[in-house]
Amino acid sequence: MADLDALRLRFARALEAARAPGGGPDPAPYADDLLARWQEPQRHYHTVSHLTAVLDHVDTLAEYAADPDLVRLAAWFHDAVYLPERSENEERSARLAERALPEAGVPDTGTAEVARLVRLTVTHDPADDDHDGQVLCDADLAILAAPPSGYAAYAAAVREEYHFVPNDAFRAGRAAVLRQLLELPRLFRTPYGQRRWEATARYNLAGELEMLST
């Protein structure tokens, strides 16, 4: 079970670091709104546990980021709007950040960077010089390199989120996603991700694809 108080503190620290001089309003209502979103009933993988894991991975990769606290805020917002049957979740999540962060005291430049990073999670394809984007995308995809039981739980949770899709259609769509990932020259862009996660993630993806194809 996620420690919600610890998450509220993590949000407050990232927000305080990203704010303009003079600060802003109490971070707690913003954290509570985001946590309520991450606990919506339609979520089975994109939950508070996923948020916590992404934040933990951002901490692991923080040395590679230009502004780790903006990456942390982007992690909070990156799936804040999530309806499995909709295709514009990332865009709506980015717009939520664009509304909330200025009100919370984040300068326009910081808000724009967070929204850009959230939109980047559509493709997980950051530029070679986009260090913040590389950290967020690697943190978001790190689940692909989970041990076998963790990867199986992840795949099952994704299937549960798409419970309304018939089996044949889901298998075809999921297989297409896996092939697209496997065709990327690199799944991970940070040195740590390439060293620690790349090979295991490719093994997991290939195994799931083989299972879907039988």
User: What pLDDT is recorded for position 1?
Assistant: 52
Asked if 131 and 76 sit in the same domain, the reply is: yes
CA–CA separation, 112 and 77 (whole Å): 13
How does pLDDT run across 29-55, given as a tens digit for each residue? 999 999 999 999 999 999 999 999 999
Does 99 lie in the same domain as 151?
no
Residue 70's CATH number: 1.10.3210.10
Is the pLDDT confidence value at 212 over 70?
Answer: yes
- Distance of alpha carbon 63 from alpha carbon 61, whole angstroms: 6
Average pLDDT value for residue range 199-207: 98
Q: What share of the chain is helix, strand, coil (3-state, %, to 5)?
A: 70, 0, 30
What is the residue range of 111's domain?
Answer: 4-143
Q: Which residue, 143, 163, 183, sits at the end of a domain?
A: 143
**How many structural domains is the chain composed of?**
2
Q: Please tell me the pTM assigned to this model.
A: 0.95
pLDDT in tens, 143-192: 999 999 999 999 999 999 999 999 999 999 999 999 999 998 999 999 99
Q: How many residues does the chain have?
A: 214
Whole-number pLDDT of residue 2? 66
